[in-house]
Amino acid sequence: MNLAVSDILDHHSRLIEQIKFIMKKLRGPVSSAKLRNLVRLKAILSKVTRWSSVCAMLERYKKLRPFLNDVAVADIKLLVLNTVHDNAIDSLSDKLSDLNTVTKALQEDTCNMGEVRLLFNEIISDYPSAKKYLDTDSNIVRCPQFESAIAKI
């Protein structure tokens, strides 16, 4: 699952880096003080080790987006993204939210191998690039016969 999400994130790496840069600037003392006067949310950054933090960072950016022009720090004003970028951010955020929901479902105690396979098949149908990581015969499956048999139980 992580490899499939990493693949999706790689396709949007430039956009994610732009958002991360804006969020870093919003964490500065002047920007954060101005932001605090407008809204009770802080800018958050993604963590390298957790793709779900990218999801959280994008969600927070979407909430802070209406206030970016009011913060009026030169670096941020230059970096405020256009509508096309905003649409791409919204789309990526929706994808990551869906995948994060699946990840949480996989972590539930009641999730069995059959449900895992159904979830993976759903991801593959929504995101075909994930097939090379999540399909029953992908290269990362050590024993396809075992996985197939256990999913049928």
Q: What is the mean pLDDT of the chain?
A: 85
Give the chain's domain count. 2
pLDDT value of residue 81 = 64
Clarify whether residues 57 and 89 are in a common domain. Answer: yes
25-75 pLDDT, tens digit per residue, is 889 888 888 889 999 999 999 988 889 999 999 999 999 988 887 776 655
Residue 4 burial class via C-beta count within 10 angstroms: exposed 0-12, middle 13-18, buried 19 and up = buried
Mean pLDDT of all residues in 84-90? 87
Looking at the structure, do residues 99 and 117 belong to the same domain, yes or no? Answer: no
| Mean pLDDT value across residues 75-99 | 80
20 & 81 share domain = yes
Which of residues 151 and 9 earns the better pLDDT score?
9
Is pTM beyond 0.75 here? yes
The candidate with the shortest Cα–Cα distance to 60, out of 8, 19, 29, 101, is 19
Residues 115 and 51 grouped into a single domain: no
Residues 86 and 150 placed together within one structural domain of the fold: no
Q: Domain range holding 73? A: 2-107
